Chain A
């Protein structure tokens, strides 16, 4: 069982470049989430999805876009990367039935 898989694991971008982070889950979970983790800030919700074809904004959505075209995949896009988006990004999924999330192992992104 792979659980939640994130690609890539590491990436360095120049300011203004774009990229897409991929998240795939094989647990048939309805709900998926993107969080960013910064030192001393814990995990902050960027965007989330409650099912295929749906997305919604979280706490810190500015500068990011998402898509959930297939139930198992949740994509996070940065259209024009900024140094403030240097962070570790985590994808998570859940059944939405009151249980905890299953997290991926993260993508470490550096914007220079």
Chain B
């Protein structure tokens, strides 16, 4: 089955730095979503994108739906220790019973 290519696999950054990660697919999606997973918990939705070119923010997080509809980007500004976790992108095709295809995740670690 298809999986999304997500990069980087892991990041080790200092508090206050900005973070960028991206997700690419070989096929077109009509929805892109970004989730965060804390240790021992299920993923929690951060941002949802529904239109090519769309740029959406949620606090210090900003995500974009790529123009080609085959990629998406997530930026975190001024990282803080609680940003630690695994970030997943997910894409949805039209008419697929709302099934999501997930990326392999980006593990973010933040040091003081």
Please classify how large the interface on chain A is, using the bins under 10, 10 to 19, 20 to 34, 35 or more: 20 to 34
**Contact code string A29-44 (vs B, CB < 8 Å = 1, else 0):** 0010101000011111
- Listed stretches B13-21, B59-67, B77-85, B100-108; interface member: B100-108
**In the complex the two chains form, is B50's CB within 8 Å of A98's CB?**
yes
**In the complex the two chains form, is B97's CB within 8 Å of A44's CB?**
no
B58 to chain A, nearest CB (A): 12
| CA of A106 to CA of B44, assembled, Å | 12
| CA of A101 to CA of B101, assembled, Å | 12
Binding site for A on B (CB under 8 A): 1, 3-4, 6, 9, 31, 33, 35, 40-45, 48, 50, 88, 90, 92, 97-100, 102-105
Binding site for B on A (CB under 8 A): 4, 31, 33, 35, 40-45, 48, 50, 56, 58-60, 90, 92, 94, 96-106
